[in-house]
Chain A
Amino acid sequence: MTVASQVKQSLASLKSIHATFQQFALSSADEQAQRTFHEAMMLTEEIIVDVKQRISQLEREEPQYHGK
């Protein structure tokens, strides 16, 4: 497995984490829990942006992995 595909896998996991946090934030009854889940969601969003940047960097350096 190449570095790029490993990082892409992490990105996929992060997106799944993001979605689950979103779901929990919507379905939690407690306000405090809702807020915590929402904050966690925002934090994962930030990380996703970073990782996406890194992936496009990697793809520029190693064009053969582009899109895989």
Chain B
Amino acid sequence: MPIWLEAAIRSVSILIGLFVITRILGKKQLSKLSFFEYIVGITVGDIAGTMSTDLDINLQEGITSILIWSLFPVLISHISLRNKKFRDFVEGNSTVFIKNGKVLEENLKQEKYTIDELMEQLRKKDVFRVADVEFAVLEPNGDLNVLLKREKQPLAVGDVFPNPPSEKEPQTVVMDGKILDEPLATAGLSRGWLKAELDKQGVAIENVFLAQVDSYGQLTVDLYDDKIQAQQPQDKEFLLAAIKKVQADFELFALETQSEEAKQMYEKNAKKLNDLLGRVAPLLKN
């Protein structure tokens, strides 16, 4: 067997082997790369590289060492899934740096963190005043996570509307001009609906690059031809405006009418519409 052929066979089989190993190691290893896992990754890669080029190395030895290096982290993660104490030992504990708005100097010292470094980490989280922080914790992977004081937290929808409607993820129903049937079915819609909706907006399906349906059944499109201004749905705005108009009309009628009975009816219904407006407004604001 020529040398190049042997090297090629070795390389291909090692590539396939490494691919399988990375699949086994899983996604967690990628997102939470600890120093240990980092070193394991480099070593496995190095062994694989040497094995594929250095033909003097016995394949058995190489494969054994790769398996040990790559299966050890798998074993460790399996044990730590089941055992909290072992997990704490392997992955480390988080350290609280700020509690009740007070910096814990002892813990800083324990993690060999200077106040400058702490402030740098805080600034990364857009916190420039230590006084704004209620709680900060150093995670085992070195990230600092910060809980701001209540009055410094950003405004959320729930603060403005007490019972905000939940919003489901939008479904992409057309991609590259092709209708995707599965998301369409997930949204509970059909091709016929899509066609009617596109007709309403005055665009041909061939011209649609991307179309999404939000949880209210509104269709937004992006067209291939950027010169055409696609009409974005305004049903919600129209509805809101129509309710406001009718409500104002009723108030006007109530003032104008001479019949006492009619006046009461208009006032009652104007009030009803006002309540209605308060209830549906959060749903109709985009």
Chain A 22-65: CB-based contact to B (< 8 A → 1; otherwise 0): 01101111101100110110011011001101100100000000
Tell me the dominant secondary structure on chain A's binding face.
Answer: helix
Chain B 231-273: CB-based contact to A (< 8 A → 1; otherwise 0): 0000100110011011001100100110100100100110011
Question: By the criterion CB–CB under 8 Å, are A13 and B242 in contact?
Answer: yes
* Contacts A3-B256, A16-B242, A40-B279 given; does A10 touch B216 at CB 8 Å: no
A53→B70 CA distance, assembly (Å): 80
Q: Which residues of A contact B273 (CB under 8 A)?
A: 47
Q: Which residues of A contact B257 (CB under 8 A)?
A: 3
A13→B265 CA distance, assembly (Å): 18
* Chain A interface residue number, banded: 20 to 34
Q: Which residues of A contact B280 (CB under 8 A)?
A: 21, 36-37, 40
Q: Which residues of B contact A30 (CB under 8 A)?
A: 165-168, 215
B283 at the interface (CB under 8 A from A): yes
Q: Which residue of B lies closest to A10 (CB)?
A: B249
Q: How many A-B residue pairs have CB under 8 A?
A: 87
Question: By the criterion CB–CB under 8 Å, are B239 and A13 in contact?
Answer: no
A43→B269 CA distance, assembly (Å): 10
B49 at the interface (CB under 8 A from A): no
Q: Which residue of A lies closest to B259 (CB)?
A: A57
B9 at the interface (CB under 8 A from A): no
A16→B246 CA distance, assembly (Å): 11
Q: Which residues of A contact B92 (CB under 8 A)?
A: none
Q: Which residues of A contact B216 (CB under 8 A)?
A: 24, 27-29, 33
Q: Which residues of A contact B62 (CB under 8 A)?
A: none
- Give the B-binding residues of A (Cβ under 8 A): 3, 6-7, 9-10, 13-14, 16-17, 20-21, 23-24, 26-30, 32-33, 36-37, 39-40, 43-44, 46-47, 50-51, 53-54, 57
Q: Can you list 15 pairs linking A and B with CB atoms under 8 Å apart? A: A3-B256, A6-B249, A10-B250, A13-B246, A21-B280, A24-B217, A27-B188, A27-B189, A27-B216, A30-B215, A32-B165, A36-B279, A36-B283, A37-B283, A47-B273
